[in-house]
Amino acid sequence: MHSTDAQMVVLTVLADGPRHGYAINTAIEELTGRRLGPGSLYGALSRLEARGLIEPVTGDADGQDRQRTMRITDAGRTSLRAELEQLARVARAGLRALGADPA
Amino acid sequence: MSAPALIVALYPPAVRERWGDEIGREIAERGARSWPDAIGGAARLWLHPSDWPETAAGQTRRVLAVALFAVTGTDALLLRAAEPATGRWLGLILAGALLAAPRPPSRALRAVAAAAIRTLAAPATAGLALLLLANSGLVDHPAGPARVLLVAAYWAALTFITLRVWALTARIVRMGTAPSRRRLRAALLLVGAGTALAAGQSLLGGALLIAAALLLSAVAALHAGQDLHGR
């Protein structure tokens, strides 16, 4: 999976509620049918946190199991909405070109 | 050290601090088939330092400065192993490294001097011993096992000196001011350009393995430098 795709899928899953890495990957598996590799998942989490699109849930990082629960930020929601709207436009155009009803 | 721990150690410190345990657990759980993705993920992150979250201000620049010195040291050893003409590019590479050199804090100059003496005393002794041996006349035309032993000692001493200089740099980076993003970017591009030119020269000289290693190092430095510009 391309790194920007991985980031979009992670954001999509986090838009549904805060999760830690393993739970994010489980939700991705339910959504797409396969889990991300560790390099793709944690690379995407690093990029999204560096860009301020996700953030750790305060106080959770010190938990005994050392799992960081992450949540989407307002900037993350805005970015995800823009990406999904663009994707929807492309999907509609593609379906129209194929003669299918985009509905 | 287990394979998951080794792979986690490949990640940049900021990522390791945050997700090292989770990455290790995923790798252990999914076994060897997860290794290519996990190793590729670490390599991609090193090529894109602007993707690293920061635990403290300037962490990325500090880590990159230390990494740059590690690359410079490796490049210097590779240049030494290549044909002599390749060494002409070392000046350019060292100029880049100097540009990224951390500035020691003025309030802690004594501490820096003490650290330098502690860190460099052993490699300086090793270098001096090697020099004395070379000029002693005892080993003018070594042959057989003596020759192998001397060549091994020579490379061991060079590697030891390189590692200790790198360790000192890492210590000063922790104590002092990290180079600015602009200076770091220029340093990476200079080191990358020098290493790429040296790779070309090695290729012309027929040293394919060394040329490939230098080319890999050049691409990494140039890519990371370019990525810093994009942030």
pTM for this predicted structure: 0.82
Residue A102 pLDDT > 70: no
Contacts 24+ apart (CB under 8 A), A75-81: A75/A51, A76/A11, A76/A14, A76/A15, A76/A48, A76/A52, A77/A15, A79/A11, A79/A53, A80/A8, A80/A11, A80/A12, A80/A15, A80/A53
- Predicted confidence at residue B48, as pLDDT, reads 93
pLDDT digits (tens, 9 = 90+) for B23-54: 999 999 999 999 999 999 999 999 999 999 98
Interface residue A21 vs chain B (CB under 8 A): yes
Specify the pLDDT at position A63: 47
According to DSSP H, which parts of B100-180 are helical?
A: 109-135, 144-175
Nearest in space to B46 (alpha carbons), one of B92, B94, B4, B14: B14
- Closest residue in A to B21 (Cα–Cα): A66
So what's the pLDDT on residue B172? 84
A53 to chain B: closest CA residue: B53
Does B194 score more than 80 pLDDT? yes
**Residue B38 in contact with partner chain A when CB distance is under 8 A:** yes
Q: Which of A21, A39, A40 sits opposite B22 (nearest CB)?
A: A21
Mean pLDDT lowest among A7-16, B79-88, B182-191, B198-207: B79-88
Residues of A in contact with B19 (CB under 8 A): 21, 42, 45-46, 68
Pairwise CB contact (< 8 Å): A42 & B50 = no
The pLDDT tens digits for A29-88 are 999 999 999 999 999 999 999 999 999 997 655 444 567 899 999 999 999 999 999 999
Query: Which has the higher per-residue pLDDT, A14 or B56?
Result: A14
Nearest CB neighbour to B41, from listed A22, A39, A66: A39
Interval A72-95: pLDDT, tens: 999 999 999 999 999 999 999 999
Residue B210 has pLDDT above 50, yes or no: yes
